[in-house]
Structure formats: C-alpha cells, structure tokens
Amino acid sequence: MLSETPSLKNVFNHADQLSGAQAKALASALYANASYIDDLGVLSPAVERICQKHVSRYVQPEQYDIVGNCLLGAMKEVLGHALTPEIHTAWAVAYRQLAGLMIGREAQVQKSEEVTSFYLEPQVKNGESKRPLPSYHPGQFISIRTDVPQLQHLQPRQYSLSDAPQPEFYRVSVKRETGLDPLHPDAPEHPDINSNILHDHKEVGDVIQVSHPAGDFFVDVMQQRDKKQPLVLISAGVGLTPLLSILKSLVESGSTQPISWIHATRSSTVQAFASVVSVITQRCENVHAVVFNKLPSE
C-alpha cells in the first residue's frame, strides 16, 4: 500500500509499521467490528480513541478507500480460495460500515460548536459510473440552492470550499446562525436561512442543487508552490474556510515557502479546524500559526 501510495507515509508512523503495531491495530478493529456487527454501540469508546488519533494524524476521508482496497487485496493473497465471493463481499460491507462511522466522527471532531462540514458528492443514477467533480482553485466557492418553506421558493447561498480539491467530493464548512438576538428567543430568525436549513433539516443522502466552483479570490497552487516570498493568511471566525483550502493545497503540493496562519476567534470552543492547523504546523516547518482568542478562559 505504501509503495503504491507514497503520500500515506506522511500519515502512518514508521515505527508502528516496523513493529507490526499498525497492522495489529487494524486487524483488531476489523475483528471487533465483525464481532459486534449487530451492536456497534459497544465499540464507541474504541472508535472514539481511534478517531481522535486519526484527526491528530491528518487522516482524510478518501484515504479510507485506499486502505480498504489494499486490505481486501491482502486478504485475498493470504486466504486464497478460502476467501469466497460471499466472504469478500461481507468483509467489504463491514469495512465500509466501520469507515463510514469513523469518517463521520472525525468530521465532527474537526469542527467547532458552531461550524459543521458538509461533504457533497455527485448523484449517481442507476447504471452510471461516478465521474470526478470539476476541479477548482483553492479559495473559490460554490453556490448551494435550497428550498426555503417560509419563502415558498428556492434560495441560493455561496459557501467557500474548505478543503484542498478532491475529485470525489466538495466540502463546505457552514456556521450555524442563531436568532438576530441570541439572548431573546422571540427575536426574528437570522436572515441566513440557508445555513440553518443545512444544519437542521438536511440528512445524509439528501439531494441539493450545487453550482460549479467560481470566484476570483484564489491561489494558483502550480504557480505559487515554488515561490520563496512569505505568504500570510489572515482570517476571523468562519472566514477561515477559503484560507484553509489554500493552506492545505499548498502543503499537499510540497510548497516550502514561509506561510503565516493568523486567525482570530471568540473562544476555543467555536474555533473551527484548530486540530487540523495544529497538525500542519507540527509537520511543516515552513508553516507558523498565531491565534488571537477573545475569551481565552472559555
């Protein structure tokens, strides 16, 4: 797996690979998942520990497919004819179920109390194969159009893409907006109705209308990654989303230019992607972060 996908060497600990600890951990997780397939709640404490570690190691949703394919290939190589098509399918389903649980939990860990990330995948009709999504420059946005019952018509809302470009999905990270005056429950609803609809009414599998990426605020990674002059990314609150896309894209491209991440937040409880930025700064000597916290005691 590591020879076919060298980028995963940045995720898996080398010492754990040599000692066999990583392989044992994966095998134990899969065995436990199969043992409690009808009562997965038993695994919650173990899943939580794994997810917290995955977030600290910057594990991405698309990497689960790579590990899953290699895992099934290894099972075929070791078991041979004993791995019947029925057993192969059962293990594939069990792995996807476990991966889905972890991906969902890790997305929650990476968000804040106010911001939730939504992963948008293209709708695939029967008989069609999934095609890669149109790419974009980090910093650009998409428009999401949702039906607003109280207005009785559709409403568009633009959201910055918050991840480095991926062919399988778009990610937007949306802030929940409370009433215009949170201290008074009878106050009018916040005018940003679309964001609250995404938070309160949309479920996994729902279909929404999404535009192609657009926007003139972006970084061309191919032109930027070899530059040596410092790059400064300044944001506040949920305004970090386009800059996070830029930061992750540059890091993944191998850029060595000095990058300063400067962010302002009300408190640590509402600071989105704090763990993601922390991992990047720990791994990349050229990236430095400064966070201004208005209420550091919270």
Q: What is the pLDDT of residues 5-41, one digit of tens each?
A: 887 777 777 777 778 877 888 888 878 877 877 777 7
Are 58 and 164 a contacting pair, CB within 8 Å? no
* Average pLDDT for 113-124: 84
Active site residue 64: yes
Q: What is the pLDDT of residues 185-215, one digit of tens each?
A: 565 555 567 888 888 888 878 888 999 999 9
With residue 262 as reference, give the H or E element that holds it. strand 259-265
Residue 116, SS3 per DSSP:
strand
Active site residue 106: yes
pTM for the model: 0.64
pLDDT of residue 24: 84
pLDDT of residue 131: 83
C-alpha 146/C-alpha 155 separation (Å) is 6
| Residue 230 pLDDT exceeds 90 | yes
Q: Whose structure tokens read 């895992």?
A: 71
Q: How far is CA 46 from the centre of its chain?
A: 21
Q: Which of 64, 95, 159, 170 is catalytic?
A: 64
Mean residue pLDDT across the chain? 84
| Residue 109 pLDDT exceeds 70 | no
Residue 23, SS3 per DSSP:
helix
Q: Which of 58, 95, 106, 177 is catalytic?
A: 106
